[in-house]
Amino acid sequence: MAFKILVLNLGGTSSKFSIYEDERHIVTKSISHCAEDMAAHPLSKDQVAYRKEIVLGFLRENHYQVDDFDTFVLRAPPFPAPRGGTYLVEGRCRELVLSYYHPDEKPIHGNRFVLPLIDELRGARNVPVYLVDPDMVDEFSEVAHVSGLPGYARKPSIHYLNQKAIARKYAQDVGRAYSELRLIICHLGGGISIGAHEYGVAIDSNEGSEGWGPFSTDRAGTVATSIMLELCFDKGLTRQEVHGLLRGKAGLKGHLGTDDLREVERRIAEGEQKAKLVFNALAYQIAKEIGSCYAALRGKVDAIIFTGGMSNSKKLIGAIESYVSGFAPFVLYPGEKEQEALALGAYRVLTGAEEPIRL
Ligand SMILES: Nc1ncnc2c1ncn2[C@@H]1O[C@H](COP(=O)(O)OP(=O)(O)OP(=O)(O)O)[C@@H](O)[C@H]1O
Ligand SMILES: CCCC(=O)O
């Protein structure tokens, strides 16, 4: 009997569900949630209810029931995982994952409420739940950790799961080992993370979740200290309001009222000058971040790889290329390899090929 694996990958604005039987992909459904649906389910607990119904619909469409599954595998929230691998969600690991769930607050990202959703789905059944290659695995070099503020190290926040899966896929496609390549990997999704990978190790990156780097669909990216001070102390805003502004009402959404790059492209095609300027600024900031990874890799780069939903945009890739095309060849893997990476990570531990990590 094959192991039946349900993969749940909830993004900020998207939901991706897959069913695998052993290593075999059966079906995937990918949904981009429209702004109206997100607004109709404003709190994290509302999102649990909303997306649970979508999962159940996906199972019905494909003639599966929740009880058919031997395991659930999830994209993890950004907890400080000590290393890459497959984590069993029990004990301390479970506590850490649940510490990101704030039912009565606006959700930051789907990975924050996916475990409560699974808990509702599995009920009393003791089905193992796994996480694979969590986003906050820290492989920074020693020098990359040092910030200018003593006591506050620079820390990575990259789409670790997808960055690693894409790096391995590229290595396989060119018939080389990931451990012998120097790569810049640009995950252009709801969030943007750009990583410098040196011989199989992500030695530096921007802070894709909450911090420095390019702005993204709805996040501000780098913000000057003086602006932070003004927001925190001069505007009478609460901590939650400042956070919501920087992550949720910034980036494309802040400038143009949409976090959908396809809509931005449509508006540019209709002649909207502001959309054009913001689009060009996005490409410019991404190119500059690629430049910083290029420096981290001492200018020796085998490929600059693009992945994530926004990598589908030929216009965006073209605009980035106009700045950094001379650095290294561009390689495109639009979308992501996260579903497969999650399923195979769970499969390895189910079959005993790998020990799960327990915290
Ligand atoms: N064909 C396309 N052309 C242009 N942009 C696209 C296309 N498909 C998706 N996008 C854009 O990609 C972005 C969403 O990317 P993606 O689905 O990878 O994000 P996510 O999974 O929600 O978040 P994250 O990648 O941070 O986990 C949106 O801005 C969307 O408009
Ligand atoms: C690395 C960024 C992951 C997220 O979108 O929070």
Q: Average pLDDT in the 33-48 region?
A: 90
Q: What is the pLDDT of residue 132?
A: 95
Please say if the pLDDT value at position 82 is more than 90.
no
**Nearest Cα residue to atom 3 of ligand 2:** 209
What is the C-alpha to C-alpha distance for residues 301 and 318, in angstroms, rounded to an integer? 19
What is the C-alpha to C-alpha distance for residues 106 and 247, in angstroms, rounded to an integer? 11
What is the C-alpha to C-alpha distance for residues 3 and 82, in angstroms, rounded to an integer? 28
Q: What is the pLDDT of residue 51?
A: 95
Q: What is the pLDDT of residue 345?
A: 94
Q: Nearest-CA neighbor of 247 among 283, 208, 198?
A: 208
Sheet with 4-10: strands ordered across: 24-32, 14-21, 4-10, 71-74, 129-132, 86-88
**Nearest Cα residue to atom 6 of ligand 2:** 209
Q: What is the pLDDT of residue 14?
A: 85
Q: What is the pLDDT of residue 211?
A: 85
Q: What is the mean pLDDT of the chain?
A: 95
Which residues does ligand 1 sit against, CB inside 6 Å?
Answer: 11-14, 189-191, 217, 259-262, 308-310, 312-313
**DSSP 8-state class, residue 61:** H
CB 207 within 8 A of CB 29: no
Q: Average pLDDT in the 99-105 region?
A: 95
Q: Average pLDDT in the 329-358 region?
A: 94
% the chain with pLDDT above 90: 87
Q: Which ligand sits nearest to residue 108's alpha carbon?
A: 2
Give 339 Cα–ligand 1 centroid separation in angstroms. Answer: 15
Q: What is the pLDDT of residue 86?
A: 95
Q: Say which residue the tokens 């639009």 belong to.
A: 334
Q: What is the pLDDT of residue 335?
A: 86
Q: What is the pLDDT of residue 106?
A: 87
* Nearest ligand 2 atom, CA 77: 6
Give 265 Cα–ligand 2 centroid separation in angstroms. Answer: 23
Q: Average pLDDT in the 48-63 region?
A: 96
What is the C-alpha to C-alpha distance for residues 269 and 263, in angstroms, rounded to an integer? 10
> 15 in ligand 2 pocket by Cβ < 6 Å?
no
**Span of 16-20, 105-109, 204-208, 322-326 with lowest mean pLDDT:** 105-109
Q: Average pLDDT in the 178-205 region?
A: 96
Q: Average pLDDT in the 287-314 region?
A: 98
* Nearest ligand 1 atom, CA 13: 22
The dihedral built from the CA positions of residue 205, 211, 212 and 213, taken in this order, carries a sign that is positive
Give 110 Cα–ligand 1 centroid separation in angstroms. Answer: 14
Tokens of 125: 């059944």
CB 213 within 8 A of CB 192: yes
The dihedral built from the CA positions of residue 105, 214, 302 and 305, taken in this order, carries a sign that is positive
What is the C-alpha to C-alpha distance for residues 18 and 337, in angstroms, rounded to an integer? 12
Q: What is the pLDDT of residue 237?
A: 96
Q: Average pLDDT in the 318-342 region?
A: 95
| Pocket mutation for ligand 2, best pick of 97, 159, 246, 310 (most atoms within 8 Å of C-beta) | 159
Burial of 280 (0-12, 13-18, 19+ CB in 10 A): middle
The dihedral built from the CA positions of residue 141, 307, 166 and 84, taken in this order, carries a sign that is positive
> 221 in ligand 2 pocket by Cβ < 6 Å?
no
Q: What is the pLDDT of residue 34?
A: 84
Please say if the pLDDT value at position 48 is more than 90.
yes
The DSSP bridge partners found for residue 88 are 130
What is the C-alpha to C-alpha distance for residues 152 and 85, in angstroms, rounded to an integer? 26
**Nearest Cα residue to atom 5 of ligand 2:** 191
**Nearest Cα residue to atom 17 of ligand 1:** 309
Q: Average pLDDT in the 316-322 region?
A: 98
Q: What is the pLDDT of residue 38?
A: 87
% the chain with pLDDT above 70: 100
> 109 in ligand 2 pocket by Cβ < 6 Å?
yes
Q: How confident is the model at residue 175 (pLDDT cuts 50, 70, 90)?
A: very high
Give per-residue pLDDT as tens, 235-283: 999 999 999 999 989 999 999 999 999 999 999 999 999 999 999 999 9
Query: What is the interface pTM, i.e. ipTM, of the complex?
Result: 0.97
Q: Say which residue the tokens 């390549």 belong to.
A: 181
Q: What is the pLDDT of residue 138?
A: 93
CB 19 within 8 A of CB 27: yes
Domains, the chain, with CATH or none? 4-137+338-350 (3.30.420.40), 160-334 (3.30.420.40)
